[in-house]
Chains A and B, each alone.
Chain A
Amino acid sequence: MNSRGVSAHLKDSVPVAGLCPQGAYGVQDSLRGGFSSVKNELLPSHPLELSEKNFHLNQDKMNLSTLRNIQGLHAPLKLQMEYRAARQIQRLPFLQSSHLALDTLRGSDDVIGFEDILSDPAQSEMMGEPHLMVEYKLGLL
C-alpha cells in the first residue's frame, strides 16, 4: 500500500467521540438527560456498541476511499453528492421516513439485515415531543 493510501485511511477514520454527552459544549444536560457517571459516558459498555454505531459511516468511508484510489476524485465526489441529496428527502423527525432513495443508492433495498427486524422505529415504544424533536434537529435547542 503506498503512503498516500495509508494517510487517506488515517484521515478518514471516525473519532471515538460518539459517546460524548449530548448538550451544549459537550457538558451533560442534567435537566433533560438526568444524572450520568463519567465511566458510562466515556467508555462503551458493550464491545460492539461503538463499532455498530459507526458501521455504515466506516463502510462508506472505506468504499469511497478505495473508489478514489481506483477511479480518481470525481467518482466519490459525485456519489457523495447524490447521497447528501437523497438524505435530505425525509419527513419531520418524529415521523418515520422510508429512506427509499437512500436505500436505492446504497443498494440496501434488496438486502435484509438486523436493522430491518430489530428496533423498528415504526414500532418504537417511546414517542418524542414533536416540537422538541424539530427544534433539536434544527439546532435551536
Chain B
Amino acid sequence: MALSNVLETPASGFNFDNAARNSALEGLFGGGQTPKPLKTGTTIAGVVFKDGVVLGADTRATSSEVVADKQCAKIHYIAPNIYCCGAGTAADTEKTTELLSSNLAIFSLNSGRNPRVVMGVNILQDMLYRYHGQIGANLILGGVDCTGNHLYSVGPYGSVNKVPYLTMGSGDLAALGILEDGFRPDLELEKAKELVRVAIHAGIMSDLGSGNNIDICVITKEGVDYIRPYRESEYRDNRKMKYKYRPGTTPVLTEKVVPLKLEVVQETVQQMDTA
C-alpha cells in the first residue's frame, strides 16, 4: 500500500522517530516506571601474563532487580586471537562486538593478515565516540598478536586505557582490589587463572549485579582456551531445561479406535531414473 506522505526512502542507520514519543510517555508514567533495558551488572577482569592474556567474567545479566539470565556469556569472540569482555547494556555490547568482529574479519580477508588488538581498539573508539556514550558498552579487549600480548579497556564515550590488568563493570572496585594486591609482571598460567578467578569471585560476593558462574578465557600464541564455566556457583537450582514426560505419565481413561476406510481410485507407476 503506497503512502502519499513518504517522499523519500527513510535513511538507513538509527531511527530517532520514536524519541519524541518516548519522552512524552515518560512524562505520563510519572517517572521511574518505564521499562529498563537489560544490563549486565557485571564483574569482568583481564590480566596479562607471561605467555598471553587471561580474561574472566561472571555470568549474571540483570534487568533492574531481576536476574534475567543466569548463564549469560560475556566473553565475546572478536578474532581467532582476540576476545572481548563486555559490561553495560547487554544488547549494546553484543552488537558492538559483533560489528567489530565482522570488520576485523573483512580486514583479514582483504589483507591476508591476522588482525591486531590495537586495530580493534581504534575501530571501537571511533564507533563509540561517534555516538557520544549513548551506546552503553564498557569493553575489555584482550589478545595476542605479532606485537605481543595486549589488554585494553574501552569506555562508552570512547576512552581507551592500556594497562596490564583491568576490571570493569559494577563489581570492578572489589575485583580491582584483588588484582592490585596480587598482580606481578610475568605471572605463570595457573597463577594468572587463579588470580582472575579470585578477583571475579570478590566482585560476585560484593556486588548484587554479578553472580552465578565464572567464565575464563585464556589467549596465548598457540590458541584460545575458553573455559565456560571455570567455576560453578554452589547455589545451583536443579531446574531442567526441557520438560519431557515419558509415555504413560498421563493415565488413559477410554480408548476408541475407528479404522479409516480408503479406496484406491487411481494408480500410476512412474519409473525412477537411476541411470
Contacts and interface: CB of A to CB of B under 8 A. Distances in A.
Asked if A and B bind, the verdict is: yes
A128 B102 contact: no
Interface in A8-28: 22
Contacts of B95: 117
A118 B9 contact: no
B103 interface: yes
A139 to B, nearest CB: 12
A115 B12 contact: yes
B12 A119 contact: yes
Contacts of A94: 9
Interface in A93-141: 93-94, 96, 110-121, 124, 126-130, 132-133, 136-137, 141
A129 B15 contact: no
B13 A128 contact: no
Given A47-B134, A48-B134, A111-B106, A127 B6 contact: yes
A113 B106 CA distance: 12
B172 to A, nearest CB: 27
B132 interface: yes
Interface residues of B, number: 31
Interface string A38-62: 0010001111110111010000000
A49 B4 contact: no
B110 interface: yes
A124 B130 CA distance: 25
A73 to B, nearest CB: 28
Contacts of A126: 3, 6, 10
Given A45-B23, A46-B16, A55 B106 contact: no
Contact of A112 (B10, B14, B103, B130): B103
Contacts of B131: 48
A32 B14 contact: no
B9 A121 contact: yes
A129 B16 contact: no
Nearest to B9: A121
B260 interface: no
Interface centre among B2, B9, B15, by most chain A C-beta atoms within 10 angstroms, is B9
A133 B9 CA distance: 9
B19 A116 contact: no
Most chain-B CB neighbours within 10 Å: which of A46, A117, A133? A46
Contacts, number: 97
Interface residues of A, number: 41
Interface in A68-95: 93-94
A45 B25 CA distance: 13
A114 B99 contact: yes
Contacts of A121: 9-10, 12
Nearest to B99: A112
B16 A96 contact: no
Contacts of A115: 12-13
Interface in B95-123: 95, 99, 102-103, 106-107, 110
B3 A141 contact: no
A80 B16 CA distance: 30
A128 B12 contact: no
Contacts of A111: 103, 106
Contacts of A136: 7-8
A32 B8 CA distance: 13
A133 B2 CA distance: 11
A48 B95 CA distance: 19
Given A47-B134, A114-B13, A119-B14, A127 B3 contact: yes
18 contacts: A32-B4, A32-B7, A34-B5, A45-B23, A46-B19, A52-B13, A93-B9, A113-B13, A114-B14, A119-B12, A121-B10, A121-B12, A126-B10, A127-B2, A127-B3, A129-B6, A133-B7, A136-B7
